[in-house]
A and B are shown apart, each in its own frame.
Chain A
Amino acid sequence: MEASKKTGREPLLRTVKRAELSRKKTMILRAASVLLALLAGGIFLLIIGFNPFTVYQTIISGAFRSEMAVQATIRIMIPLLISSLGVTMAFKMRFWNIGAEGQIIMGAIFATYFALYQNAMPHVLLLIIMFIFSVIGGGLFGLIPAFFKAKFNTNETLFTLMLNYIALNVIVYLRDGPWKDPASSGFPKIARFDLNAQLDSVLGVQAGWIIALLLTAIVYIYLKYTKQGYEISVVGDSHATAKYAGIPVKRMMLRTMFLSGAICGIAGMVQATGSDMTLATSVAGGVGFTAIIVAWLARLNPAAIVIVSFLFSILEKGSSVMQSTYGLSSYSADVLQGIILFFVLGCEFFVRYKFVGRKGGAGK
Chain B
Amino acid sequence: MAQEKKDTYAIECKGIRKTFGSVVANNNVDLDVKYGEILALLGENGSGKTTLMNMLSGIYHPDAGTIRIGGQEVSINSPTDAIGLGIGMIHQHFKLVDVHSAMDNIVLGTKEKRIRPKELKAKIEEISSKFGLEVDPEKKIYNMSVSEKQTVEILKVLYRGASILILDEPTAVLTPQETEKLFAILRRMKEQGCAIVIITHKLNEVLAISDRVEILRKGESIGTVDTKDIDEKKLTELMVGRPVTLEIDRPERKADAVPEIVIRNLNVERPDGTPGLTNVNFELMEGEILGVAGIAGSGQKELCEAITGLTEIKEGSIVHREEELVGMTFKDIRSRGIRISFVPEDRLGMGLVASMGMVDNVLLKHYQDQQGIFIDRKTPRKMAEKMVKELGILTPSVDTPVRMLSGGNVQKVLLGREIIAEPNVLLTAYPVRGLDINSSYTVYDLLNEQKKKGVAVLLVGEDLDVLLSISDRILVLCHGEVSGIVDARKTTKEEVGLLMTGVKGTKEEKEESTDGSK
User: Which residues of A pack against B, CB within 8 Å?
Assistant: 1, 3-4, 6-11, 14, 16-20, 225-230, 233-234, 237-238, 240-241, 243-246, 356, 361-364
Contacts and interface: CB of A to CB of B under 8 A. Distances in A.
Nearest to A360: B63
Query: How many B residues are at the interface, by size bracket?
Result: 35 or more
Interface in B326-365: 330-331, 334, 342, 344, 346, 349-356, 360, 363-365
A226 B355 CA distance: 18
A356 B367 CA distance: 46
Given A3-B84, A226-B374, A362 B64 contact: yes
B22 A240 contact: no
Interface in B77-136: 77, 81, 84-86
29 contacts: A3-B69, A3-B74, A4-B73, A6-B84, A7-B76, A7-B81, A7-B85, A8-B75, A8-B81, A10-B75, A11-B77, A19-B21, A20-B21, A227-B374, A228-B373, A229-B375, A237-B353, A237-B355, A237-B356, A238-B350, A238-B353, A241-B349, A244-B342, A244-B344, A245-B365, A246-B331, A246-B368, A356-B63, A362-B63
Contacts of B356: 233-234, 237
Contact of B77 (A10, A240, A362, A364): A10
A17 B81 contact: no
A8 B77 contact: yes
A19 B22 CA distance: 4
A3 B72 contact: yes
B22 A241 contact: no
A205 to B, nearest CB: 32
A227 B373 contact: yes
B58 to A, nearest CB: 9
Given A19-B22, A245-B364, 8 more contacts: A1-B85, A4-B72, A234-B353, A234-B356, A234-B364, A240-B346, A244-B310, A356-B63
Contacts of B81: 6-8
A350 B374 CA distance: 38
A244 B331 contact: no
Given A7-B81, A10-B75, A20-B22, A1 B373 contact: no
B370 interface: yes
A225 B72 CA distance: 61
B84 A240 contact: no
Given A10-B77, A241-B349, A225 B61 contact: no
A238 B354 contact: yes
A356 B364 CA distance: 41
Contacts of A226: 373-375
Nearest to A229: B375
Nearest to A237: B353
B170 interface: no
A219 B363 CA distance: 21
A253 B337 CA distance: 28
A230 B21 contact: no
B438 to A, nearest CB: 26
B377 to A, nearest CB: 9
Interface in B234-274: none
Contacts of A244: 308, 310, 342, 344, 350-351
A349 to B, nearest CB: 14
A16 B344 CA distance: 33
Contacts of B374: 225-227
Contacts of A363: 64
A17 B20 CA distance: 6
B316 interface: no
Name the residue in A17, A238, A240, A364 with the highest tally of chain B Cβ atoms < 10 Å from its Cβ.
Answer: A238
A246 B335 CA distance: 13
A308 to B, nearest CB: 22
Nearest to B367: A227
Nearest to B333: A246
B70 interface: yes
Contacts of A3: 69-70, 72, 74, 84-86
A230 B373 CA distance: 11
Contacts of A9: 75
A203 B72 CA distance: 79
A11 B61 CA distance: 10
Contacts of B21: 17-20
A9 B78 CA distance: 11
A240 to B, nearest CB: 4
A191 to B, nearest CB: 42
Contacts of B84: 3, 6-7
B360 A7 contact: no
B370 A227 contact: yes
Q: Of A226, A237, A244, A363, which is in contact with the most chain B CB atoms at under 10 Å from its CB?
A: A244
Q: Which of A9, A229, A245, A363 has the most CB of B within 10 A?
A: A245
Contacts of A241: 349-353, 364
Max chain B C-beta neighbours (<10 A), residue from A6, A7, A363? A7
Contacts of B61: 10, 14
Closest 5 CB pairs of A and B: A6-B84, A19-B22, A361-B63, A246-B330, A240-B350
Given A6-B81, A363-B64, A246 B354 contact: no
Contacts of A361: 63-64
A225 B360 CA distance: 11
A29 to B, nearest CB: 15
Contacts of B330: 246
A54 to B, nearest CB: 44
A361 B20 CA distance: 12
A229 B330 CA distance: 20
A140 B80 CA distance: 54
A213 to B, nearest CB: 21
A230 B365 CA distance: 12
Contacts of A10: 61, 75, 77
A100 B227 CA distance: 67
A10 B75 CA distance: 6
Contacts of B367: 227, 230
Contacts of A7: 74-77, 81, 84-85
Contacts of A18: 21
Contacts of A246: 330-331, 334, 368
Nearest to B365: A245
Nearest to B372: A227
A357 to B, nearest CB: 12
A350 to B, nearest CB: 13
Contacts of A6: 81, 84-85
A20 B77 CA distance: 26
Contacts of B373: 226-228
A225 B373 CA distance: 9
Interface in B47-76: 61, 63-64, 69-70, 72-76
B78 to A, nearest CB: 9
A364 B77 CA distance: 21
Contacts of A11: 77
A244 B351 CA distance: 7
A16 B364 CA distance: 35
Contacts of B368: 227, 246
B86 A1 contact: yes
A6 B22 CA distance: 33
Contacts of A238: 349-350, 353-354
Contacts of A356: 63
B146 to A, nearest CB: 24
Nearest to A358: B75
A11 B368 CA distance: 54
A147 to B, nearest CB: 22
A73 B64 CA distance: 55
